[in-house]
Amino acid sequence: MPLYDLAFYFIIFFLVGVVFASVGFSLLVVLGVVLSGALAIFFVLSRHYATLFLIPSVLLGFVYFNIYSDIFYIEHIPLEEKAVFQGVVAREPVYGLTSQRLAFKLQPPHRGEVMVYTAPYPRYVYGDLLAVTGTVEKSASGALNIMSFPEVTHVASGKGNAVKQALFTFKRRFVANLERVLPPEEAALLAGETVGDRAGFSKPFTEAMKLSGTTHIVALSGHNISVVIFAVMWAFGFFFSRRVSFYASVFFITLFVVMTGAEASVVRAGIMGILILLAVQADRLYSVRNALALTAFGMTLHDPRVLVFDVGFQLSFGALLGIVYFMPLLKHFFNVNDEGFLGWKYNALTTVSAQIGVLPLLLYHFGYFSLLSIAANVLILEAVPYTMGLGFLTGFTGFASDALSQVFARSAHLLLYYQIAVISFFSNIPWGISLTSLPWTALGIYYGFLAWGMIYGYRKYKLTPTL
pLDDT > 70? residue 466: no
The DSSP call for residue 43 is I
Mean pLDDT of 75-87: 90
Q: Which of 61-75, 262-276, 308-322 has the lowest mean pLDDT?
A: 262-276
Rounded mean pLDDT of 40-52? Answer: 62
For residue 410, pLDDT beyond 80 = yes
Stronger pLDDT, 48 or 38, i.e. the higher one: 38
Model pLDDT, residue 46: 58
pLDDT tens profile 272-305:
878 877 877 776 766 788 888 999 999 999 999 9
Give the pLDDT confidence of 54-71 residue by residue, as tens digits.
Answer: 778 899 999 999 999 888
User: What string of DSSP letters covers 73-97?
Assistant: S--B---SSEEEEEEEE-S--EE-S
What is the maximum span of the chain, computed from C-alpha positions, in angstroms?
72
Mean residue pLDDT across the chain: 86
C-alpha torsion sign, points 286, 287, 292, 298:
negative
Cβ atoms of 124 and 154 within 8 Å: the answer is yes
**Residue 322: what pLDDT?**
87
Query: Could you report the per-residue pLDDT of 212-260, keeping only the tens digit for each?
Result: 888 878 776 666 777 787 788 888 877 888 788 888 888 988 898 888 8
Among residues 173, 223, 193, 244, the alpha carbon closest in space to that of 420 is found at: 193
Q: Which amino acid is at 188?
A: A
Amino acid identity at 302: H
Residue 184 CA to residue 187 CA, distance in Å, equals 5
Q: What are the percentages of helix, strand and coil residues in the chain, rounded to 5?
A: 65, 10, 25
**Cβ-based neighbour number of residue 218 at 10 Å:** 24
Confidence (pLDDT) at 389: 92
pTM: 0.82
46-to-33, 41, 56, 121, 427 alpha-carbon distances in Å: 18, 6, 19, 64, 52
pLDDT for 65 equals 95
* % of the chain at pLDDT higher than 90: 34
The domains found in the chain, sorted by start residue, are 3-72 (no CATH), 82-159 (2.40.50), 170-461 (no CATH)
Residue type, 100: Q
Alpha helices in 2-147 (DSSP H): 3-22, 27-40, 48-72
Residue 85 CA to residue 75 CA, distance in Å, equals: 13
pLDDT of residue 42: 67
| pLDDT tens-digit readout, 411-460 | 999 999 999 999 999 988 877 777 777 788 888 889 889 888 888 888 88
Residue 47 reports pLDDT greater than 60: no
Which whole number is the average pLDDT over 169-187? 94
CA distances from 340 to 132, 326, 346, 427 (A): 56, 19, 7, 26
The answer to whether the CB of 302 falls within 8 A of the CB of 257 is no
Average pLDDT, integer, range 161-182:
93
Q: Alpha helix locations (H) across 367-401?
A: 373-381, 384-397
Higher pLDDT, 153 or 462: 153
Rounded CA-CA distance 438/445 in Å is 12
Q: Computed from CA positions of residues 380, 382, 184, 117, in that sequence, does the dihedral angle turn out positive or negative? A: positive
Q: Please tell me the predicted confidence (pLDDT) of residue 50.
A: 58
